[in-house]
């Protein structure tokens, strides 16, 4: 469905949907998948840790790493959403003043 313009639709009041914070969140979410799907990188028995072959403790380590990365991703998206809401509701964002002052003040 075309809107008749060549510009992309930005539903957040002029801010792009893909922000640097959202890229960080995406990397945090994708990293565990890449690490676990790249099986040749951990398909070995040595080095052993407390008697566990590398194959097992590497996967168990990624359980903890994944949990930490999900917390980081959640916090980053939460911060980005708060910044979007603050930017959309502030009068400076609507008027386009970058320095935060209004035209009538000295």
- CA distances (Å), origin 96, targets 15, 19, 67, 75, 101: 12, 19, 40, 28, 10
Question: Residue 103: helix, strand or coil by DSSP?
Answer: coil
Tally the domains of the chain.
1
- For residue 18, the model assigns a pLDDT of 79
Residue 68: inside a domain: yes
What's the CA angle centered on 75, arms 66 and 57, to 5 degrees? 10
The residue segments making up the domain with residue 31 are 20-82
Residue 61: inside a domain: yes
pLDDT per position as a tens digit, 13-38: 555 677 888 888 999 999 999 998 98
- For residue 43, the model assigns a pLDDT of 85
DSSP 49: B
Q: What are the beta bridge partners of residue 12? A: 15
Residue 33: inside a domain: yes
Average pLDDT of the residues in 7-17: 57
Residue 99: inside a domain: no
- CA distances (Å), origin 20, targets 4, 26, 57, 71: 29, 10, 33, 17
Q: What is the pTM of this model?
A: 0.64
pLDDT per position as a tens digit, 48-97: 889 989 998 999 999 999 999 999 999 999 998 888 888 777 655 455 55
């Amino acid at each position: 469905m075309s809107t008749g313009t060549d510009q992309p639709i930005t539903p957040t009041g002029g801010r792009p949907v893909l922000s640097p914070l959202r890229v960080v969140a995406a990397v945090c979410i994708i990293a565990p998948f890449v690490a676990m799907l790249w099986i040749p990188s951990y398909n070995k028995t040595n080095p052993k840790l407390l008697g566990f072959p590398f194959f097992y403790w590497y996967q168990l380590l990624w359980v903890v790493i994944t949990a930490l990365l999900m917390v980081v991703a959640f916090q980053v998206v939460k911060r980005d959403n708060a910044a979007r809401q603050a930017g959309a509701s502030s009068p400076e964002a609507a008027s386009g003043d970058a320095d935060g002052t209004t035209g009538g003040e000295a």
